[in-house]
Structure 1
């Protein structure tokens, strides 16, 4: 396994700080989910006019871009053109960076449509995306998120997607905290389609002022109640050799630890668990 940090956790950092911190703490890569003020990196000069500079800085730090995380939501029929426009921006960037992994969301309006209907829409959207130039050379991974958190629901969506170009991004916190599954249960059910992993930790503290709607509060890896140790060991035991990404949500959750604290804590947790 290789570890990567998500830029969701350091929205105020410039590229040099990201690269230096990642390299100094033993990270192998960076997952770009936004850069500074822009959530869509294809809209930032660092990934357009200054892309060559960006690639050189990453290479100098010995880092790989592990993935690009988009806001594409495949199960909304009325967002087809919006989704295709975003895909058209990310495909050439992925090829320039040598990235083969692009994250998308499922989402969809589950109040108006059944999951079966939403899954069919998702399948249609992905086939439309794959028809774009260069798209079929990439892996389009649906995150275990929103309507598609449990393994059974993920399987329903996967059945509508082309096997050769799609898979699952497993957010361990979502399937355990929201889906009610143990890591072993998730891996037994959809482990054959998991190609990328997000990890963060949390405690159940519904009275905390920072608690999410479900009562959970994010904390540093290893300091919470989520079975992320079990997940990492299960992945290791099963021979998973892909990316494990620290998805620290500083951009969305300002109360969480600053990135200069969180990233080293994740790297130390990772090494300790696998000792």
Structure 2
């Protein structure tokens, strides 16, 4: 009989194999619930495939685990740092009241990837050009000086079709990277 994790693990295995075929270093996942042990079991279930394929699972600060504290607990419980890491979406921990320094501390050695973006406010997540919203971008940038992982702009025009095209946003993202990568 199949266990409760089997459909999730099967889908994650398929995503990992596709990523390996494409040469991608990681697969991003959103935590599907607040059950840390279930999430840890699922990450441990794919750890061998991650080692074989060279592809990691990156759990984003999102959905049911929007803070660094929540994702950090999950990754600590899984205990497979070679297979799983954290993706810090700077919007979600902040809008849930977690200060950027606390997010970074909670994610610690798990941090592998950072998504930057700005939004109108903690309650209105409509994307806006960098420094036109409420996300503490300068504080995040200062904290990330020396970070050796990936940093990217996330621009969600698919979900917010009224916002400017990404071509208009890229100069601000480029400026953010230049400001904080030195």
Structure possessing the higher relative contact order (Cα contacts under 8 Å, 6 or more residues apart): 1
> How far has the Cα of 1:87 moved from its partner?
2.9
Aligned positions of 1:255-274 closer than 5 A: 255-274=162-181
1:122 aligns to what?
Answer: 39
The unaligned stretches of length 5 or more in structure 1 are 1-76, 109-114, 206-213
| Residue of structure 1 aligned with 2:130, choices 203, 221, 240 | 221
Distance 1:86-1:191 versus aligned 2 partners, 3 A rule: closer
Distance 1:233-1:126 versus aligned 2 partners, 3 A rule: same
> How far has the Cα of 1:91 moved from its partner?
2.8
Matched, 1:107 2:43: no
- TM-score for both structures, normalised by structure 2: 0.84
1:84 aligns to what?
Answer: 10
1:110-157: CA deviation from partner (whole Å, max 9, x where unpaired): xxxxx4xx1111122222223448656221110011121223322321
2:148 aligns to what?
Answer: 241
**SS of equivalent to 2:29:** strand
Distance 1:142-1:135 versus aligned 2 partners, 3 A rule: farther
- TM-score for both structures, normalised by structure 1: 0.58
Q: Distance in 2 between matches of 1:234 and 1:123?
A: 28
Distance 1:229-1:135 versus aligned 2 partners, 3 A rule: farther
Distance 1:217-1:130 versus aligned 2 partners, 3 A rule: same
2:22 aligns to what?
Answer: 97
Distance 1:240-1:273 versus aligned 2 partners, 3 A rule: closer
CA RMSD of aligned residues (A): 2.4
The unaligned stretches of length 5 or more in structure 2 are none
